[in-house]
């Protein structure tokens, strides 16, 4: 039975949200492609009818409309792909990502020689899994590799596929909590953690942001939307340890000022800024009083 592939053009600013939405809708694989100045998202479906693929995709995108991320449904293109074409076509989107001397993200079919002390997060081709290549995920992984020290307690807010929580565990975090308000996302995150051998070290919870989460955490990371992060910042003192770090991402340069203003109001100082493909990641902490 052939695969069905649904493709649509979408604004780069919400492409990651669209990828996540398709994964949560049941797509067996999702990818992004930049082509001729436009971002395209593809969803891959196995053992499903064309009608099911179309209705599931529309339902996923309508949820983005409901939360104000998307104004209207994009035009969908649905095509078929034979099994062998799928396997080879899917693989072309993923190659090893050498994030830093401490961390790499590697597809399961690739041979990768890790540097001494370098931790590897392994991905499988059929996962609805953040691959690390997107600007926000890449810079969050880089920030974790630079600022996370073994023994830290870490909270990954809006964990999604779990890639950041998994990376934190592999980098030596002593306690990792991952939260998401989507039951399927938490289930997927746990399965991904199992595949990477760290499921016993991560506490995935179905909850909204920091609700029902107790600190203290030496590091909190949130790769979500800018306006949600602004609302999250006032709740950080409840769970963040003294001199604890906050890594925020998921917003573009034009939205950065709003996040910075919220951090400033909470008396945070910016320790480092990352930018990749117009996406911003900030590392901050509460200012140390003289």
Residue pair 165/154 in contact (Cβ under 8 Å)? The answer is: yes
Q: Report helix, strand or coil for 191.
A: helix
Q: Where in the chain is the domain with CATH 3.30.70.120?
A: 3-91
Q: Give the number of other Cβ atoms within 10 Å of residue 234's Cβ.
A: 11
The predicted-structure confidence for 75-124, as pLDDT tens digits, reads as follows 999 988 765 555 566 566 667 889 999 999 888 777 888 899 999 998 76
Q: Where in the chain is the domain with CATH 3.40.50.150?
A: 97-286
The predicted-structure confidence for 262-274, as pLDDT tens digits, reads as follows 999 999 999 999 9
Rounded mean pLDDT, 168-195 = 90
| Whole-number pLDDT of residue 250 | 86
| Whole-number pLDDT of residue 128 | 44
Its pTM stands at 0.77
| Whole-number pLDDT of residue 96 | 83
Topology of the domain comprising 97-286: Rossmann fold (3.40.50)
C-alpha–C-alpha distance, residues 126 and 11, integer Å: 25
C-alpha–C-alpha distance, residues 61 and 75, integer Å: 11
Ordered strands of the 268-276 beta sheet? 202-206, 175-180, 153-157, 217-223, 240-252, 279-286, 268-276
C-alpha–C-alpha distance, residues 166 and 120, integer Å: 10
Q: What percent of the chain has pLDDT over 90?
A: 51
**Phi first, then psi: what are they for 64, rounded to 5°?**
-70, -35
HEC assignment per residue over 96-157: CEEEECCEEEEECCCCCCCCCCCEEEEECCCCCCCCCCCHHHHHHHHHHHHHCCCCCEEEEE
Residue pair 178/189 in contact (Cβ under 8 Å)? The answer is: yes
The predicted-structure confidence for 122-157, as pLDDT tens digits, reads as follows 876 444 445 566 778 889 999 999 999 999 999 999
The predicted-structure confidence for 203-224, as pLDDT tens digits, reads as follows 999 999 999 899 899 999 999 8
pLDDT confidence tier of residue 290, bands split at 50, 70 and 90: low
Q: What percent of the chain has pLDDT over 70?
A: 91
Average pLDDT, the chain: 87
Tell me, rounded to whole angstroms, the distance of Cα 225 from its chain centroid.
11
| Whole-number pLDDT of residue 204 | 96
Q: Domain 3-91 - what CATH class?
A: alpha beta
| Whole-number pLDDT of residue 12 | 77
């Amino acid at each position: 039975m052939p695969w069905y592939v649904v493709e649509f053009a979408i604004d780069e600013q919400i492409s990651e949200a669209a990828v996540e939405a398709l994964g949560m809708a049941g797509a067996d694989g999702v990818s992004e492609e930049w082509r001729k100045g436009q971002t395209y998202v593809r969803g891959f479906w196995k053992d499903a009818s064309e009608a099911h693929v179309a209705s599931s995709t529309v339902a996923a995108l309508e949820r983005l409309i409901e939360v104000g991320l998307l104004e209207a449904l994009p035009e969908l293109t649905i095509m078929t792909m034979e099994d062998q074409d799928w396997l080879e076509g899917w693989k072309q989107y993923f190659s090893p990502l050498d994030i830093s001397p401490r961390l790499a993200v590697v597809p399961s079919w690739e041979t990768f020689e890790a540097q001494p002390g370098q931790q590897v997060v392994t991905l499988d081709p059929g996962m609805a899994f953040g691959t690390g290549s997107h600007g926000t995920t890449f810079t969050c992984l880089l920030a974790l590799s630079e600022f996370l020290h073994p023994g830290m307690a870490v909270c990954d807010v809006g964990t999604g596929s779990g890639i950041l929580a998994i990376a934190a565990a592999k980098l030596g975090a002593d306690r990792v909590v991952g939260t998401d308000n989507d039951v399927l996302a938490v289930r997927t995150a746990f399965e991904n953690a199992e595949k990477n051998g760290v499921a016993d070290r991560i506490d995935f919870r179905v909850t909204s942001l920091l609700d029902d989460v107790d600190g203290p955490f030496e590091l909190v990371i949130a790769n979500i939307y800018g306006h949600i992060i602004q609302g999250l910042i006032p709740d950080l003192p409840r769970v963040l340890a003294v001199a604890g770090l906050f890594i925020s991402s998921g917003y573009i340069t034009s939205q950065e000022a709003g996040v910075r203003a919220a951090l400033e109001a909470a008396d945070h100082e910016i320790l480092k800024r990352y930018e990749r493909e117009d996406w911003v990641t900030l590392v901050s902490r509460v200012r140390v009083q003289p």
